Structure 1
């Protein structure tokens, strides 16, 4: 069936844009943060081990931009040390309706509008990866449904899931590893296992359980299950992007400030990844590659460009 786009009433789009600007202003409202005590606590964290030449580092990113927010400086350092860096994106980030409303100029984006957003975000991810020096042949897009990973890991493990946002029940991305793969947990497991067997990573960077976003902590479970099956559990390392209300603070670009542990995951055994001015510049450039996202969440995203990043060798305190 061919999808057609209904013309909107003349008042609709200005009203939508006003609402968007109001929400963006609320999201971007600067709030003081990072006390001297917190800064000293970050400085006291042990440094993460240095990368080595030839090391194979794989980052599993739930959505385009997560790899940059959590780990752009880390990935840049790994590449500079001679490590081989790979990034695999699980979804295309096609579930952000507010973003699509702005970019596609439609009040109620669905179907084609969100699939077009997914294709656009894939190209932004490629642009960010170029900034980080990740070669195209080490970039993989799987194309599973944004907002649907929990269903794929549960009731839709064997039965195809239909995304209420895109209307798709199979991978539609032209650049996906397996175009046409059904939206099932079985297909996602098979795709991810194919990546792990091909890359044979020495380090696998995934979200921690404590990351608030359902796609993030569901990916944790999936990756841990596959890593256990393949004998790779000791190679898992953890990061957080959605770490609690308003984190990180303050919003906006503050390169002189440290990134403090997220409230939802303070108890994890965090390691500090110090970032040089050059690392910060690379990270800021990669953030800016996500134009669809920075239009709405720019101050949130740029708040991750700090003096350090955070990495945990375990996803539970005391492990």
Structure 2
């Protein structure tokens, strides 16, 4: 077949009927415009990341012998990615560290197929993957100076932590993993109450001075809810003077640049400069970084599939955020500021990009206002989730009658406090509140994560 030159191709198109040329333009233009938009977005994101690199973050306070660290990881590898360097430095200095894994990370179909060589994995294959990931975690932590006696595998369902908080709170309604087909661990039902109880006992046993856990605004639902369950357990434990430090693993297109860059510092996601997280950085020693790198290499089941992303966390530093607990009362508005424009979908569609959540007591109602980067749109789902300390859960999709200003960048919802009360018991002294946007219930574009609010009534 004779090759056609570019000029010949253009001459051929010119001879086409007008309708045919218009059809070609209509077919080709959207993907080209989409590619151009994505290119501009990533160029801007890289520029923002470079600017943040030149502006040093405040330093994390040096670790001291009196500290006791509790690291909570949603999956096996999160502890190394987010806290590996700090763990290594703490153990080098003789500071005790206990690591808790909420799940075994077994609900990863691609990894399961690779490990078991079965393109249609069965429940036993996912269990096998979970066992392998436990072994990888123990080997990784050995490089960081943590022995098996200081590691706890709770074994709750991977990709099911949010369901435990919202839908499967009590043992009467356990969650069943669609992957392992399990609905219990160590004789305890997969439910929110069990997870809070387990974490509470661990906090009381280890008496940590510092807890490291994933950030509530992490895009991965297990990560986001890990922060929520940890906060709930800490409140229940009554252990005082504990500092919470939040690390991020999944948030938009981050870390930047992607790939192995051990000479660069780790900086927060670009959109988080406007959020209410106060970031601090830990500069890793040469030995700590090398220990972290050796630890990460133990996660072979993950590196085979996403090595570029995982190696992005091998940097000269690690970052940890602090959040200020807000109080809700009739005189003041409590606010949560969210990151902005740090994901290509959120950047392209401002109507899905949350910027702030405001909460205030107005009489016997809780007034919650969601602020968006753009005007609200009919095709976007706006949801508000609340949970009381006693476990009462309430979900609201923000549409009439809860949506007061359609088409604006503010969505206002007024909820009677009586709806959050349990039987004859009045509402307790605190609430967890979360807001999210998405196209469907399963497609979440942006979220604040659950945040803890103390209630101050008149």
TM norm. shorter chain > 0.5? yes
CA distance in 1, matches of 2:270, 2:76: 24
Q: Is 1:98 aligned to residue 110 of structure 2? A: yes
Aligned to 1:194: 201
Alignment of 1:1-319 (within 5 A): 33=46, 36-41=50-55, 44-158=56-170, 159-171=173-185, 179-231=186-238, 232=240, 234-245=242-253, 247-263=254-270, 265-266=272-273, 267=275, 268-314=277-323
**Pairwise CA RMSD of aligned residues?**
1.9
Distance 1:104 1:264 in 2: 39
Give the aligned partner of residue 387 of structure 2: none
> How far, CA to CA, are the matches of 1:207 and 1:36 in structure 2?
24
SS at match of 1:312: strand
Unaligned runs of 5+ in 1: 1-30, 172-178
CA shift in 2, pair 1:233/1:66, >3 Å: farther
Asked if structure 1 preserves the Cα contact closer than 8 Å seen for 2:201 and 2:237, the reply is: no
Which residue is equivalent to 2:451? Answer: none
Q: Distance in 2 between matches of 1:138 and 1:118?
A: 19
Task: Describe the superposition over 1:213-235 as per-residue Cα deviations: whole angstroms up to 9, x where unpaired.
Answer: 00011111111112122344742
Cα distance in 1 for residues equivalent to 2:317 and 2:337: 21
Kept in 1: contact 2:255–2:312 (CA 8 A): yes
**1:84-124 C-alpha deviation (Å, 9 max, x unpaired):** 01100000000111111111111122301101000000000
Aligned equivalent of 2:20: none
**1:207·1:239 contact (CA, 8 Å) conserved in 2?**
yes
Q: Secondary structure at 1:270's aligned position in 2?
A: strand
Q: Which has the larger radius of gyration?
A: 2
Shift of 1:264: 5.3
Question: Quick one: distance in 1 between partners of 2:241 and 2:227?
Answer: 12
Q: Which runs of 5+ in 2 are unaligned?
A: 1-41, 325-335, 339-458
User: C-alpha distance in 2, partners of 1:264/1:180?
Assistant: 43
In structure 2, C-alpha distance between the alignment counterparts of 1:54 and 1:293, rounded to whole Å: 35
- TM-score w.r.t. the length of structure 1 is 0.83
TM-score (ref. length: structure 2)? 0.58
Choose between structure 1 and 2: higher strand proportion. Answer: 2
